Each structure stands twice: as structure tokens, then as C-alpha cells.
């Protein structure tokens, strides 16, 4: 009974057209052109490398796309158990008429050609979105993105701020900031102004969120200006900062971002817990990991200081989910946001989805985002989430608590779509 019920709920939830609230889509090239764009997604390159494929076979300069796919396919039999490869197979079946259950050295080439032909159709982007049931897509824009030349009804800008908070000591970052704002800052006030100009620019172009990913050791605080002046001076002089000095600058920029989120009424997406470049010889985007010893208690000052700002929060470690549930249960401005990266597999989504639906107000739960780089991934990733969600709704709500199917669907629709509209104001 549970299985039929869950399938029925899934069927209904698949009808709902969605807004994807966090992606890395390039709005100037949102869809793939070949399977190399699709299989170039770091999940496949890093897993193939993890299984033994040499990095240079993947990242060789000038590598022909088709050759690259052929090489990756040789390693897929080591990865076919992974949910990530199931996304690949599912999207090939949905979009490219693939009928197998494995992509192999024997069948990949025909698939490659068929896919390339399909993706060459001039309206492929539209087709893909329509078939995927996605109508709007949040972007992750560099702070100096001009935000022009794309359909801003469909693609919603989002100000990504990692570079500002953690890499302001790099001259090129400051140069980009100067160019974007028409102003070279020389002190704390000037830096604040420059950041303000970015918010103004983004807000004018329809941005719906400010976002950042944060290492596990970061703990936001509002440093006094006197603490920041010295380090900022030295940074502007291109002197090497101590770890403590660099932290003062990061704290200052971060706190300034939160202040502008108040002024510009933007949610501040926090993606908490990633250590960058842990595996230094890893493939592109396949080097980052984490330290589970992180706590949302590190954010208590922030949450207390900015009651007017909504913080949609993603955590990287599954062991952080319970804290996230509890903080969202208590703090009005803390909101659940999707299932991030290493947590984005059915085993963990199931545990997390269940606790979130049982303990956090339903209006504070953004169920899922795809985090995709190319549009073709929205469908299989959201589908994975919908399957988990349907099962949890069936078991925990309809069966265990006697809800009607309509009530359960209503809850499902709210976390899949309604809350994205309400929380991000789209």
C-alpha cells in the first residue's frame, strides 16, 4: 500500500512546474551542446578519477569533446552504482531516447551522436526546460557580472560573494571590484560603499538573493572598525596578512553584506561547511571536502543581529542537519534550503527530509535546488528528490498520521514550489 500511495503522490508532484532556487547555470549557455558538457560535470570526472582514471586523461588541453566522453565511458562500470550516474542515465533516457540501463563502450557513441543532434535543435533550451517542468532558474553570479544579455524573467540573478569575503587580498579581485563599481576603495568606508554599489546593481537587475559558501571554521562577528583598519591597510598595500588579520577583513566584509541584505531586502543564502582544495591534485571542482566539526552556534550572533534578514541555510555535513532543523525551529530568520552536495543522495535526503517535515514550520522549508551547471540536470535531480519526498509524505503523513492525500500533496507542493516564491519573493 505504501508503495502505490507513494507512486500516486509522485505522479501528482511531477505535474508541478518549478522554480529552481540555486544553480550554477550560465544564462548565456544554459543548455549542453554535447554529452561532453553533461559528462564534464564534476560528479563524473571526480568519480572516474576517484575510481582510478588519471587526471590528465580528463583535463588534457584541447581534448576533443567526443574523445573525452569516450574516455570517461570506460570508467562508468566502476561508478554505475552511484546515484550520480543514475542521473546521467535517466536524463539520457528522458531527453535523448536512450533505451539502455548502462552507458557502455558499446553504446555510447550512438548516444553521443543522437544527443548532439537533439541539443543542436535551436529551441533545445526551451524544450529541455519544458520537459523538465522548470520555469525559472536562479543563477550564481560573480559580483562583477554585468547581468545583461539574457532573459532575466527566466534566469534570476543572485549575488555570489565568496570572492569578496575570502579573496579580497588578491589584487585581481580588487581590480574586478574597482571595475564593477567605478571606484577604488582605500578604507573601510570606501569598501562598504563599493559593496553597496554591487547590491544596487544586482537589485536593479532583479537579483533575489545574496549567497556565499563558508568554511567550517568561520564564525561571523561584527569586528570594530578599529580592528579592521590596520589589516585592510596592509591588504591594500599588498602586504601579506596573518591569518588573524585576514579573518578581520573577512568578518568585516561578511557583516557588511548582511547589512546590505537588510537595506536591499534580500535573503542571504548561507552554504555552510566546505573546505576548499583539500585534495590538491583533484580534478576541476573535485578537490573540496569538509570537516564535520562545525556548529550553527557559530552563527548565533549573526542570527540575533539581523532579525530582518532571512537566511536560507544549506549544510554540507549530514550530521549538521539536526542543528539546522533545530535552529530553523527556533529562529524566525533561519530557513531550510535544499540538500547540498555530499548530502545530496537519497540515503541522506530521506533522513533529512523526514526530520525537517516533522519539526520545522512548513513555511520555512525550501525542499530542493538542483545546483546544476547545465539545464539537463534539473530533471533527474528534482526527480530523485520528489521520489524521496513522496515516500516520506506517504509513510509519515498519510499512513502514520492519517492525512488525506490532498493534504500531503499540498505540503509537498509548498516545499517544492510555494516556499521558493514566498521566501525569495519571486
Q: Is 104 in the site for a second copy (CB under 8 A)?
A: no
Tell me, by CB under 8 A, how many residues bind a second copy. Answer: 76
| Choice from 153, 244, 281, 406 touching a second copy (CB under 8 A) | 281
- Look at residue 315 and give its three-state secondary structure: strand
From residue 48 to residue 77, the character string flagging contacts with a second copy as x (rule: CB under 8 A) and all else as - is: -xxxx-------------------------
Q: How far is the CB of 200 from a second copy (least distance, A)?
A: 28
Q: Is 144 in the site for a second copy (CB under 8 A)?
A: no
| Choice from 47, 91, 159, 177 touching a second copy (CB under 8 A) | 47
**Nearest CB to a second copy, comparing residues 150 and 342:** 342
- Is residue 12 a contact partner of residue 409, using CB atoms and an 8 Å limit? yes
From residue 344 to residue 373, the character string flagging contacts with a second copy as x (rule: CB under 8 A) and all else as - is: -xxxx--x--xx-xxxxxxxx---------
**Nearest CB to a second copy, comparing residues 143 and 290:** 290
Interacting residues of 106 by C-beta distance below 8 A, sequence separation 6+? none
Measured CA to CA, the distance from residue 128 to residue 135 in angstroms comes to: 10
Q: Is 400 in the site for a second copy (CB under 8 A)?
A: yes
Which of these, 237, 260, 234, lies nearest to 246 by C-alpha position?
234
Which of these, 34, 43, 37, lies nearest to 79 by C-alpha position?
43
Q: Is 142 in the site for a second copy (CB under 8 A)?
A: no
Q: How far is the CB of 60 from a second copy (least distance, A)?
A: 18
| Choice from 17, 29, 120, 278 touching a second copy (CB under 8 A) | 278
Strands, DSSP E only, in 101-181?
Answer: 134-138, 155-156, 159-160
220 Rama class: left (phi>0) / alpha (psi -120 to 50) / beta: beta
From residue 328 to residue 347, the character string flagging contacts with a second copy as x (rule: CB under 8 A) and all else as - is: xxxxx---------xx-xxx
- Is residue 30 a contact partner of residue 373, using CB atoms and an 8 Å limit? no
Angle at 24 between CA 20 and CA 28, to 5 degrees: 100
**Nearest CB to a second copy, comparing residues 209 and 325:** 325
**Nearest CB to a second copy, comparing residues 138 and 368:** 368
**Nearest CB to a second copy, comparing residues 152 and 300:** 300
Angle between helix axes 346-359 and 321-330 (nearest 10 degrees) is: 20
Interacting residues of 52 by C-beta distance below 8 A, sequence separation 6+? 75, 78
| Choice from 32, 34, 45, 84 touching a second copy (CB under 8 A) | 84
Q: Is 291 in the site for a second copy (CB under 8 A)?
A: yes
Amino acid at each position: 500500500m505504501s508503495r502505490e500511495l507513494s507512486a500516486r503522490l509522485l505522479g501528482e508532484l511531477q505535474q508541478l512546474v518549478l522554480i529552481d532556487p540555486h544553480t550554477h547555470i550560465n544564462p548565456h549557455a544554459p543548455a549542453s551542446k554535447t554529452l561532453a558538457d553533461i559528462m564534464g560535470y564534476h560528479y563524473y570526472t571526480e568519480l572516474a578519477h576517484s575510481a582510478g582514471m588519471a587526471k590528465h586523461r580528463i583535463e588534457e588541453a584541447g581534448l576533443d569533446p567526443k574523445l573525452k566522453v569516450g574516455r570517461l565511458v570506460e570508467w562508468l562500470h566502476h561508478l554505475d552504482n552511484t546515484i550520480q550516474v543514475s542521473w546521467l542515465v535517466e536524463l539520457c533516457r528522458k531527453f535523448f531516447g536512450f533505451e539502455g540501463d548502462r552507458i557502455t563502450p558499446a553504446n555510447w557513441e550512438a548516444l553521443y551522436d543522437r544527443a548532439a543532434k537533439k541539443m543542436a535543435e535551436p529551441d533545445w533550451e526551451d524544450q529541455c526546460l519544458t520537459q523538465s517542468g522548470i520555469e525559472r532558474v536562479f543563477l550564481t553570479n560573480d559580483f562583477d557580472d554585468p547581468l545583461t544579455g539574457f532573459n532575466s524573467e527566466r534566469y534570476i540573478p543572485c549575488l555570489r560573494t565568496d570572492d569578496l569575503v575570502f579573496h579580497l587580498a588578491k589584487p585581481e579581485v580588487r581590480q574586478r571590484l574597482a571595475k564593477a563599481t567605478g571606484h577604488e576603495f582605500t578604507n573601510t568606508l570606501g569598501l562598504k560603499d563599493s559593496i553597496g554599489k554591487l547590491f544596487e546593481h544586482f537589485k536593479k537587475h532583479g537579483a533575489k538573493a545574496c549567497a556565499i559558501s563558508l568554511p567550517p571554521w568561520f564564525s561571523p562577528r561584527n569586528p570594530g572598525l578599529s580592528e579592521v583598519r590596520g589589516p585592510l591597510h596592509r591588504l591594500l598595500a599588498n602586504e601579506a596578512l596573518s591569518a588573524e588579520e585576514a579573518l578581520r577583513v573577512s568578518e568585516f566584509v561578511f557583516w557588511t553584506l548582511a547589512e546590505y541584505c537588510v537595506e536591499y531586502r534580500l535573503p542571504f543564502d548561507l552554504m555552510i561547511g566546505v573546505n576548499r582544495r583539500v585534495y590538491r591534485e583533484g580534478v576541476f571542482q573535485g578537490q573540496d571536502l569538509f570537516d564535520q566539526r562545525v556548529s550553527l552556534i557559530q552563527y548565533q550572533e549573526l542570527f540575533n543581529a539581523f532579525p530582518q534578514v532571512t537566511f536560507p541555510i544549506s549544510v554540507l555535513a549530514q550530521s549538521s542537519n539536526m542543528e539546522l532543523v533545530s535552529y530553523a525551529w527556533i529562529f524566525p530568520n533561519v530557513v531550510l534550503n535544499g540538500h547540498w552536495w555530499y548530502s545530496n543522495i537519497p540515503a541522506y535526503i530521506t533522513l533529512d527530509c523526514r526530520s525537517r517535515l516533522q519539526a520545522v514550520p512548513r513555511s520555512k522549508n525550501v525542499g530542493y535546488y538542483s545546483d546544476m551547471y547545465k539545464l539537463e540536470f534539473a530533471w533527474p535531480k528534482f526527480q530523485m528528490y520528489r521520489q524521496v519526498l513522496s515516500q516520506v509524505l506517504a509513510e509519515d503523513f498519510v499512513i502514520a498520521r492519517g492525512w488525506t492525500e490532498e493534504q500531503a500533496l499540498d505540503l509537498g507542493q509548498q516545499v517544492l514550489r510555494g516556499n521558493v516564491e514566498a521566501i525569495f519573493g519571486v
